[in-house]
Amino acid sequence: MPSEAERVLVIEDVSKNANLSAIRWVLRNISFQPGNQLMLLGVVHKIYNPMGYRSRVDPDSFSGANKKVVAETIASKKEVYLYNREIERFSDKCKTTKVVFHIDVQAGASPKELAVKAAQTFRATWVIIDKHMMKEKAYIVEQLACRISAIKHNNTIHDLHFPKAVNPQRQTTKINTGQNGRSQSEEFESCSVCKNKRPKIGWKREFTIAELQISTEGFSRKNLVSENGFCFMYRGMLSGLEVAVHKMKNTSFSAEEEFLSKITEVSRVRHENLVTLWGVCSEGSNMLLVYEHICNGSLEQHLSKNHHRPLSWDRRMKIAIGASRGLKYLHQNAIIHGNLRLDNIFITHDYEPLVGEFGLPIIEHDDSDLSSETRLGNGAYYTPEYVEFGKISAKTDCYCFGVVLLQLITGLRTTDPILGGKSLVAWARPLLRDKNYPGLLDRRIGDSYNVHQLFWMVRVAEKCLCKNPRNRMTMDKAVYTLTCMMKGNTVPVIRTFSPALSESLSSSIMDSSGSACDDRSSSTQDQAPSMRSMDNVTRKLPPSTLSEQASSSRSVPSRKTFKSKPALVGQRAR
């Protein structure tokens, strides 16, 4: 922790209008720690009157605006800041969080000189300028030694200068994972076990191929972490921080411009359950992405039969909820993952999940470059509408999340020999139709699972796997249901769905011989039958099981108890 607190200076040119883009970005993306200081400085170098005329703020010039007009302009610009609701909320919050917040408006002939003088007086450690101040960036960078960033026209931040003496890992400001300026308690913390650090904002940049070759020791085999159908993943070191370098294979991107545009969009994403994109390299045919390093491997590795320590039920639940929150955040920001699989859900030693490789504009690839296992694995996640029409939407991600939930429950890979050549969804259909949910369970879990959680986790998976994308559960509802379930609260009945009909488990491309139930039959017979089926199953459970459910026990009876279609006791909590 640095001995000197962070002092952030935000400078906006408010001569014509108070744009507020820079301060809004700061308030929505940075969490200030106790002792930090933030100063908002509005700069006025021209006066615009209602008739459209403008005059310079220069007391030595004959044509300059008079002092009274300048004073009135300064007062009106400051009022815009003081009475802005978002700024008001932040100012009130500073009183309880012990963050010092200053607001000032200054006038002068030279905006760049005002900016530099204010930064020096304030002793700023980080200066952020708005897009209207960009024309002064060369002078500001030359005069100041601190970190300097700019807010671009698309409301993204770009570093203009980063002092070499400053280690970005040691910054005290943290990034918000919330929206609309609301900070959250879950911030970008390091792993409590290995102390692996997460990069802070402003680290995103373009790398050269030479830099990445050095960081990975020439893309050596010893630094090769894993490989999938689209890229090789290497471990590397950049500026003292361990990173993951993804080197794309023979993958066709629609165009380099589109690729870089998508990367810019993805690089703005910041959430505790999403892997942070640190930078990109695009030189000739080389396409490389630099991500933060996640310390404990992928979910695919942890569910592998060869893994020395199988995931417990509680950890599987934690991973499911975290991954759903990451996807929900993407959808709220109009980003489709488009490629969700076990091998791009990464795990820390605290078993916090981080979803990676989202939003990339991969259009096609040559199947001859992929192993049969990779092709089959990817095919298991294909939605019916993608197979038939090539359509991808947020509901595509919901379907893939349903497959991931099935894999968390069963512990099976999509190419597991036990499936007998079927897709995982087709293999699970009879067990789901008979409500034989313990029969789905990974046997390595044993009896240490929660019946309440198992039932609702299966229901969420089924609802995500609906054949008709309009009937699929949204990630927002998935997060809500899984969170209620984890807390032991009563989960509202999932409408437009009946487990007995198994409509949701449509034939995938790996098992095209089967036929899914008609969507309409599900929608016309659900609601009441859904509750009746739960009540019927409740009556089949012995009294001892009911009492254990009521007490929210973490342990359940042995599998022998559930020979007759076990399920959750669907009663409202008292």
- Residue 192 makes CB contacts below 8 A (sequence gap 6+) with 349, 350
Going 521 to 523 to 529 to 533, the CA torsion angle's sign is positive
288, two tokens: 């490389």
Give CATH 3.40.50.620 domain extents, the chain. Answer: 7-175
According to CATH, the topology of domain 205-292 is Phosphorylase Kinase; domain 1 (3.30.200)
- Residue 190 makes CB contacts below 8 A (sequence gap 6+) with 196, 197, 198
Provide the pLDDT for residue 474.
94
Confidence of residue 328 (pLDDT cuts 50, 70, 90): very high
Give CATH 1.10.510.10 domain extents, the chain. Answer: 303-562
User: What mean pLDDT do residues 230-258 have?
Assistant: 76
What are phi and psi for residue 290, nearest 5 degrees? Answer: -110, 115
Q: Which residue has the higher pLDDT, 320 or 241?
A: 320
Q: Which CATH superfamily is domain 303-562 in?
A: Transferase(Phosphotransferase) domain 1 (1.10.510.10)
Q: Which of 487, 493, 306, 466 is nearest to 401 (CA)?
A: 466
pLDDT tens column, 337-367: 988 999 899 999 999 999 998 877 544 444 4
Q: Is 90 exceeded by the pLDDT of residue 541? A: no
pLDDT tens column, 387-399: 777 788 899 999 9
Q: How far apart are CA 299 and CA 527, in angstroms?
A: 35
66, two tokens: 């008079």
User: What mean pLDDT do residues 77-94 have?
Assistant: 87
Going 202 to 208 to 212 to 215, the CA torsion angle's sign is negative
Give CATH 3.30.200.20 domain extents, the chain. Answer: 205-292
Q: What percentage of the chain's residues is helix, strand, coil (to nearest 5)? A: 40, 15, 40
Q: 7-175 has which CATH code?
A: 3.40.50.620
Element (H, E) at 57: none
Q: Please report how the helices 451-464 and 543-550 are oriented relative to each other, as an axis angle in degrees rounded to 10.
A: 80
Confidence of residue 199 (pLDDT cuts 50, 70, 90): low
- Residue 417 makes CB contacts below 8 A (sequence gap 6+) with none
**Cβ count within 10 A of residue 422:** 18
**Cβ count within 10 A of residue 208:** 11
Confidence of residue 59 (pLDDT cuts 50, 70, 90): low
Do 428 and 505 form a contact (C-beta atoms < 8 A)? yes
Q: How far apart are CA 524 and CA 516, in angstroms?
A: 16
